[in-house]
Chain A
Amino acid sequence: MDLGIFIFQTLIKILLVLLIFSALAGFTTYIERKVLAFMQRRLGPMYVGPFGLLQILADGIKLFTKEDIIPTNAIKPIFKVAPVILPVSAFVAFTGVPILPDIQIGDTTFQFLIVDSDVGVLFVLGVMAVGMFSPLLAGIASSNKWSLLGGARTAIQLLSFEVVTGLSILAPLMLVGSLNLIDINNYQIEHGWLIWQQPIAFVLFLIAGYAETNRTPFDLLEHEAEVVSGYATEYSGMRWGLFFIGEYVNMYIVSFLVVLIFLGGFGEGTLLDGLCYLAKVLFFIFLFLWTRAAWPHVRPDQLMWLTWKVLMPLAVINIVVTGLLVI
């Protein structure tokens, strides 16, 4: 393909991903508030606009116009840069996720995937994990006790869950024999969804995904009841908002990954398959909100106990068993 057209197309795709998913992140906050409210017999946002729909807009205006406070003792350059890392890493990771199957218009195929790499899964997970630096640096640079505690908990989280994420996904990858997300998707067309072959890996990966995106029950980085707002205590305005855009985009990535790797992805790429794909993704987003309404948080020591003493051995056993079966 002509290089110029390629660059142009890629830029358009990047812009699309950026726009769609920052808008979706905002919309998800609204959905989250509504779903949580309904589950708790409340109504949620109701005043701004019909059914409170314009609440997102109001929140946006608030975030953009709020004073950007930088504490006197904070390490300023790091404090300023930290919130940017999370959304950047999240959006970069998104370039490796096929958000829609390829579309055939005439005899040109339009590919939604931006980076079609042979190490797709590694790329996405790796870049996503970089996002963890954001709360870590923010916590250390804020010169605030709560932030520091939040930062320390980030380190715990990173140590505990990166291992499980990697190990849990290893077993299905051994079956597929490729790190390319499209290959994983195509493998499932022939062999059925990987969740039936790898149920343990599915559960482990899902749990690890919750920790990666730091959502309930593993949101100990910003556990209101214990550490005020954790790493985000000193942040206000759009800098605070960036953390949350990053968090919600990460939620989407994890949902896409789970569906792609374990639930058949977009199958053969027909229209119906595409719709099913999106519905599955939305179900996982809903699951994030659902568990948030129902489950309590875990303590940091429980988190480490859970990962190192339960989940990691399970993942290793899973790999060994899968390995024996493959051979």
Chain B
Amino acid sequence: MNKEVIKGSQNYIPVEIEDYPTTGWQKFKQVVRRSLGKELFVGLWVVLREMLKFNIHTVQYPEEVLPLPSRYRAVHKLLRLLESGNERCIGCGLCEKICIADCIRMETKEENGRKVVSEYSINLGRCIFCGYCAEVCPELAIVHGSRYENASEQRAHFVLKDDMLTPIDFLKEQKEFDGFGAVSPNADKLIKKTPLAY
């Protein structure tokens, strides 16, 4: 018998492994026990039961899609402000700076005294989907979307600003992002007062 005691805090259950048979007679008894005893027929019964229950787990992929959690990190999106529809990105360049794969590039210019982003691209061929850009963004402008079907005819697809930015007419469908990099719902409770007096 396998009497190994597993230490540690987790509740591991050691599998009981019988001693291997050594003599021919023991081997014979093992075969008889396994073939005429329960093991073979239980196996048959289990598969038949599953067939009769017809409890199918297949997801027929292109027609049925499993829901993704909001923290899933797939192809990026650039969001807009919900009320005004203006672009959220303020061109601070933090994402460009933090990106470890060095794959974000942006061009900014001044317009009416404000900094606006004229070009913004992510080279998805190099992006490792680490999520740092979404986490560092002060405006929750660049976030991870849920588009994981990345097959395309050209490498440049999904990468340019126009592809990532929420189109202005679809503004209503944009929801407040609660995924990776967003403030957690109980953030208010977690905040502690800054100790001012030492």
Contact = CB atoms under 8 A, between A and B. Distances in A.
Interface stretch (B6-14, B40-48, B97-105): B40-48
Given A42-B56, A42-B58, A43-B56, A294 B28 contact: no
A38 B44 contact: no
Contacts of A295: 40, 43-44
A310 B56 contact: no
A170 B40 CA distance: 27
Contact of A39 (B28, B51, B58, B60): B51
Given A39-B51, A295-B44, A310-B31, 13 more contacts: A35-B51, A38-B51, A38-B54, A39-B47, A41-B57, A46-B60, A290-B48, A291-B44, A293-B47, A294-B40, A294-B46, A295-B43, A309-B28
Contacts of A41: 50, 55-58
Interface of A: 35, 38-43, 46, 290-291, 293-295, 305-306, 309-310
Contacts of B44: 290-291, 294-295
Contacts of B55: 41
Nearest to A47: B60
27 contacts: A38-B51, A38-B54, A38-B56, A39-B47, A39-B50, A39-B51, A40-B50, A41-B50, A41-B56, A41-B57, A41-B58, A42-B57, A42-B58, A43-B56, A43-B60, A46-B58, A46-B60, A290-B47, A290-B48, A291-B44, A294-B43, A294-B44, A294-B47, A295-B43, A306-B31, A310-B28, A310-B31
Interface of B: 27-28, 31, 40, 43-44, 46-48, 50-51, 54-58, 60
A310 B57 CA distance: 41
Contacts of A305: 27
Contacts of B27: 305
Contacts of B57: 41-42
Nearest to A291: B44
A38 B48 CA distance: 9
Contacts of B50: 38-41
A309 B56 CA distance: 42
A312 B28 CA distance: 14
Contacts of B31: 306, 310
A127 B48 CA distance: 34
A148 to B, nearest CB: 29
A309 B58 CA distance: 44
A207 to B, nearest CB: 10
B16 to A, nearest CB: 19
A203 B52 CA distance: 26
A38 B58 CA distance: 10
Q: Which of B47, B51, B56, B58 has the most CB of A within 10 A?
A: B47
A99 B198 CA distance: 98
Nearest to A302: B31
Contacts of A290: 44, 47-48
A260 to B, nearest CB: 24
